[in-house]
Amino acid sequence: MATIHPVLLCGGSGTRLWPLSRKSYPKQFAALLGEESLFQASARRLSGALFAAPVVVTADAFRFIAAEQLDETGIMPSALLIEPEGRDTAAAILAATLQVAHDDSRALILVAPSDHVIPDAQGFRDTVAAAAPTAEARRIVTFGITPDRPETGYGYLELAAPPSGETPEPLPLVAFVEKPNAERAKAMLADGRHLWNGGLFLFRADVMIDAARRHAPDLLTAVEAALGGAKRDLGFCRLDAVAWAKAPAISIDYAIMEKADNLSVMPYTGRWSDLGDWASVWRETQEDGSATSGATTAIDCEGTLLRSEAPGQRIVGIGLQDIVAVAMPDAVLVAHKDRAQDVKAAVAALKQEGARQAETFPRDHRPWGWFESLAMGDRFQVKRIVVHPGAALSLQSHHHRSEHWIVVQGTARVTVNDDVRLVTENQSIYIPLGAKHRMENPGKLPMVLIEVQTGPYLGEDDIVRYEDVYART
């Protein structure tokens, strides 16, 4: 069997799992169901003897997070493509397809969102392997999930007849079905001919390119130009922004799949979830009717999800039924489980109010590590900063603030103008207003410090960079 090239899509910024998932740190990078993030679990699932190194497509804001999380898994991508802006799935999939086709025009490609949950990794690999001969025969294979409930939040794939036999095989697709109302969802579940649309696709590179040439020529032209004008940037492939902006913002279903006449559906009978809302997280984690995570206590609760993501903060639920309660350091969600899909509307309301919690995660991830604000007041802010081993912040200065750094773990190499010194645990150093300064971690363990900022303006945009190993501007 030919090697399959995985394409992992991780540029989205879903809001239905707010406050844990936000625009600045979306759900695919969060450890929702264990120690690993959904993105890491997806990369592991699509690795091994059957698969080549993955192509990852992500947004500029997430490029270092994706690279770091892949490095933690020991998986090296064949390419990490950076979208200048989100243009939906069609452009992203075509960019990855063209990237793979550059080396092998007949290569088999498996496209997968990076935020899905598939507990039986080997079972899924076996299903992909069973679908590969159909894809090699110039069919585009989409994977249909066997439904276990009348779900109204998913699109469906209609088959001519229910799948039969213990060993599923690809079947012709009759039609795509939009998200149904509750009554129709019940009817489709009963007839057995409808599967959930999992958003997973297996195809030969040349077959997808030919389909794009027939059904979405303007899209293909724009993506070809964006990849042709791409620039290498610290191991990333940054697609050309001008050409990319000309690509229509459209999903792969609307652009190509619903127009193609060579589609087959591969049924998948194992457990699957796109974790599209907190109700789905409850379904994946509940035991005896309730699900808890972090510092939580549930007393006489039924059908309830309690989740604490704030160190030192405990959630206690008493006599709750079908309630979702999620606590972050800067925001708390409390909702009835039946209203889980409405979280997106709540985020829109917060955004309209100008609340930073709508989109900004309390922990700000950077290529060198991360920081979080511990306290803020008039003319001061206190931060905890964690710097990865061997990492360094940019050489920079500030117009409006001075800083005081106290090292609480590890050793920092600190530059202040022409002075370079090592600052160890329980030592501190003062950074005057306007001074050129840099912080580095020369050690082999994470370095932690407390930063106290003082000044009339403390925004993150008050930075003048002179040198940066991560090529940020």
pLDDT of residue 122: 96
Structure tokens at 101: 């086709």
Cβ 382 vs Cβ 452: under 8 Å: yes
Cβ 243 vs Cβ 226: under 8 Å: yes
CB-CB neighbours of 192 under 10 Å: 14
Q: Which amino acid is at 228?
A: G
Write a three-state SS string for the chain: CCCEEEEEECCCCCCCCCCCCECCECHHHCCCCCCCCHHHHHHHHCCCCCECCCEEEEEHHHHHHHHHHHHHHCCCCCEEEEECCCCHHHHHHHHHHHHHHCCCCCCEEEEEECCCECCCHHHHHHHHHHHHHHHHCCCEEEEEECCCCCCCCCCEEEECCCCCCCCCCCEEEEEEECCCCHHHHHHHHHHCCEEEEEEEEEEEHHHHHHHHHHHCHHHHHHHHHHHHCCEEECCEEECCHHHHHCCCCCCHHHHHHCCCCCEEEEEECCCCECCCCHHHHHHHHCECCEEEECCEEEECCECCEEEECCCCCCEEEECCECEEEEECCCCEEEEEHHHHHHHHHHHHHHHHHCCHHHCCCCEEEECCEEEEEEEEECCEEEEEEEECCCCECCEEECCCCEEEEEEEECCEEEEECCEEEEECCCCEEEECCCCCEEEECCCCCCEEEEEEEECCCCCCCCCEEEECCCCCC
pLDDT of residue 234: 81
Rounded CA-CA distance 96/313 in Å is 43
pLDDT of residue 85: 92
Q: For the chain, which domains are there? A: 4-268 (3.90.550.10), 278-353 (no CATH), 367-467 (2.60.120.10)
pLDDT of residue 471: 77
Structure tokens at 330: 């800067």
pLDDT of residue 473: 65
Phi and psi at residue 150, in whole multiples of 5°?
A: -80, 75
Residues 6+ apart with CB under 8 A from 102: none
Rounded CA-CA distance 202/469 in Å is 38
Strands 236-238 and 79-83: parallel
pTM listed for this prediction = 0.89
Rounded CA-CA distance 303/420 in Å is 57
Low pLDDT (below 70) residues in the chain: 1, 165, 473
Strands 447-454 and 402-409: antiparallel
| Torsional sign, CA 67, 70, 75, 79 | negative
Residue bearing tokens 């679990």 = 41
